């Protein structure tokens, strides 16, 4: 039986760009699928097709057992989407906005009020709750929008990069709410640039690139496929990096990655602690002094790099947009 979110052979082109090139998905009810991929991979296009906002050129999809192309209105009634459906009304206060959503979904006045209060608190909007949304900063609006999508718990939810640009505290709050929703039976498709987030929240992960699913599995399965453990060495003297690389290449099962500025060398290995001892002895014999050495399991970042050939964009964003919004907020919060 197909899951709560099901897609088969989705294709969508924009002019010459084949944004989706045959995407298949199957998300069991009550689970979280993390959709990962570099910029331009087709994540948002997938979400737009599944939420009836965009017609694919071919392929089919079902959400909550309803055909997305044949019955878009019914699909819309069973889903929540952060960022697009949840239209924030500028002239209402944050609290009024959330209460209104609750009442639209047939909550009692009391229930809607309680849920609004709880969400405002959790997203750090309590103090601003009774100001009109038009006075909110970009970051506050984003949080209000997320809160609006979370007032009710629809059977199926889509979140397209929900935590991009949120500060760590609000990211944590959102993770908590997502976990509660899923414990309550909601099925969630989440796209994210933060691999740690997918690791933490997602039962299954699909990696997409150039409009195709290039890998799928649990986080552990993907990590195991990326080739077991890694030896990581920090050499003391920068000029000895090339000799260090030679040693690691001899013991490793793949290319040695070099991070010049941290003097850290990493290589996939098979053989565990015994091998680690061999590496240390070899480095020692060659007179290569080290500051640190260790054996670690691959992270989801390693998986991502080995599959797509580049790192996820998260790091850049952390210091860019996120910091920007925090500053912005400080001004407006006064
Ligand atoms: N409305 C559009 N018009 C033209 N090209 C688009 C449009 N939407 C997306 N694309 C292109 O389709 C590809 C996939 O985009 P998108 O799904 O937004 O990727 P992601 O969300 O993974 O970053 C990109 O090359 C993007 O430029
Ligand atoms: Mg996108």
Cβ burial 119-154 (10 Å sphere, 16+ → b, else e): bbebbbbeebbeeebeebbebbbbbbbbbbbbbbeb
Run of H or E residues at 158? strand 156-160
Is the separation of the CB atoms in 44 and 191 below 8 Å?
Answer: yes
Break the chain into its structural domains and give their ranges. Answer: 5-220, 229-296
DSSP 8-state secondary structure symbol assigned to residue 203: S
Bridge-based pairing state of the strands 32-36 and 17-27: unpaired
* Best mutation site among 7, 11, 14, 162 for ligand 1 pocket (most ligand atoms within 8 Å of CB): 14
Bridge-based pairing state of the strands 187-191 and 32-36: parallel
Is the separation of the CB atoms in 8 and 60 below 8 Å?
Answer: yes
Q: What is the pLDDT of residues 59-98, one digit of tens each?
A: 999 999 999 999 999 998 888 777 544 568 889 999 999 9
Answer yes or no: is the C-beta of 44 below 6 A from any ligand 1 atom: yes
Give the confidence band of 29 by pLDDT, cuts at 50, 70, 90.
very high
Q: For ligand 1, atom 26, which residue shows the shortest CA distance?
A: 40
Using the structure block, give the residue that is written with the tokens 């070099």: 258
The whole-number pLDDT of residue 320 equals 36
Nearest to 309 by CA among 214, 204, 195, 190: 214
Answer yes or no: is the C-beta of 43 below 6 A from any ligand 1 atom: yes
How is domain 5-220 classified at the CATH fold level?
A: Rossmann fold (3.40.50)
Nearest to 199 by CA among 312, 108, 102: 312
- Ligand with minimal distance to 45 CA: 1
Q: For ligand 1, atom 11, which residue shows the shortest CA distance?
A: 19
Nearest-angstrom CA–CA distance, 160 and 44: 7
What predicted TM-score, i.e. pTM, was given to this entire model?
0.77
Q: What is the pLDDT of residues 292-320, one digit of tens each?
A: 999 988 877 778 777 877 666 544 333 33
Q: What is the assigned CATH class of domain 229-296?
A: alpha beta
Nearest ligand 1 atom to the CA of 38 is 22
Q: What is the pLDDT of residues 188-240, one digit of tens each?
A: 999 987 878 898 899 999 999 999 999 999 988 888 777 678 899 999 999 99
Q: Is the pLDDT of residue 130 over 90?
A: yes
């Amino acid at each position: 039986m197909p899951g709560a979110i099901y897609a088969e052979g989705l294709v969508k082109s924009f002019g010459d760009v084949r944004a989706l090139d045959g995407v298949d998905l199957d998300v069991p009810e009550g689970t979280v699928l993390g959709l990962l991929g570099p910029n331009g991979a087709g994540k948002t296009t997938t979400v737009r097709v599944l939420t009836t906002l965009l017609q694919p050129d071919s392929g089919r999809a079902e959400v909550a057992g309803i055909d997305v192309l044949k019955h878009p209105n019914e699909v819309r009634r069973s889903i929540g989407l952060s960022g697009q459906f949840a239209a924030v009304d500028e002239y209402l206060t944050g609290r009024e906005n959330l209460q209104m959503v609750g009442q639209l979904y047939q909550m009692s006045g009391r229930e809607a009020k309680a849920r609004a209060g709880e969400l405002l608190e959790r997203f750090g909007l309590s103090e601003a709750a009774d100001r009109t949304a038009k006075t909110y900063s970009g970051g506050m609006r984003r949080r209000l929008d997320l809160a609006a999508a979370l007032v009710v718990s629809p059977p199926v939810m889509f979140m397209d990069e929900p935590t991009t640009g949120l500060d760590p505290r609000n990211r944590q709050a959102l993770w908590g709410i997502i976990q509660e929703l899923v414990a309550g039976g909601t099925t969630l498709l989440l796209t994210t640039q933060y691999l740690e987030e997918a690791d933490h929240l997602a039962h299954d992960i699909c990696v997409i690139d150039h409009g195709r699913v290039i890998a799928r599995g649990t986080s552990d399965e993907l990590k195991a496929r990326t080739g077991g453990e890694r030896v990581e060495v920090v050499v003391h003297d920068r000029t000895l990096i090339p000799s260090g690389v030679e040693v690691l290449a001899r013991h490793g099962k793949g290319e040695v990655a070099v991070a010049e500025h941290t003097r850290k060398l990493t290589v996939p290995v098979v053989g565990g602690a015994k091998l680690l001892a061999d590496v240390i002895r070899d480095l020692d014999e060659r007179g290569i002094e080290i500051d640190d050495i260790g054996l670690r399991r691959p992270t989801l970042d390693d998986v991502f790099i080995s599959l797509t050939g580049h790192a996820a964009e998260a790091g850049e964003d952390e210091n860019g947009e996120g910091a920007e919004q925090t500053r912005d907020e400080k001004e407006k919060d006064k």
